[in-house]
Amino acid sequence: MPELPERLLAFDFGTKRMGVASGQVVTGLGTPLEPVPAQDGIPDWARIEALVAEWRPQVMLVGNPLNMDGTVSELSLRALKFARRLAARFPAVPVYQQDERLSTRAARETLREVSQQRRGRLPSLDSTAACHLVMAWFEAPNWQRV
């Protein structure tokens, strides 16, 4: 089994915006970043290029929104298409998919807890979901490249 990467970027695929989180193996946690706008699932590639240049990830993750029974959904196919385009644009950085079932629900619960602890602006739901992708991947990495 390969060694876990020190740094990664995770994307919670969406047709209007994509949540983004940076992750590091030291903590096994993700840090929510500003979501990337998208139009019909096509992201602002300039923004993604800037994120890759800034964070220099060793791995990139894309959430796989499977149906609850584990079958492929229409959104799963679109997320896979995005993951493949990401891999083609950044061939030096391995891209993996991570099952993201219930990540949005978990993100909502996380934000509800955080809002009770502090006042002010909260991270986006999409980027918080990407943080959950990071944690899930560090707990049980999917080493099958896109």
Domains of the chain: total: 1
**Does residue 138 contact residue 37 with C-beta atoms inside 8 Å?**
no
Q: What are phi and psi of 68, to 5 degrees?
A: -60, -30
Whole-number Cα distances in Å, 8 to 1, 55, 105: 17, 8, 23
Condensed to tens digits (0 to 9), the pLDDT of residues 61-109 reads 999 988 778 788 888 999 999 999 999 999 999 999 988 765 555 545 6
Q: Which residues contact 84 (CB under 8 A, 6 or more apart)?
A: 95, 146
pTM of the model: 0.83
134 occurs within a structural domain: yes
77 occurs within a structural domain: yes
Distance CA 106, CA 57 (A): 24
Q: Where in the sequence is the domain holding 132, given as residue range(s)?
A: 7-139
145 occurs within a structural domain: no
CATH number for 70 = 3.30.420.140
Q: Which residues contact 6 (CB under 8 A, 6 or more apart)?
A: 24, 25, 26, 58
2 occurs within a structural domain: no
Q: How confident is the model at residue 116 (pLDDT cuts 50, 70, 90)?
A: very low
130 occurs within a structural domain: yes
Q: What is the pLDDT of residue 120?
A: 52
146 occurs within a structural domain: no
Q: What is the pLDDT of residue 117?
A: 46
1 occurs within a structural domain: no
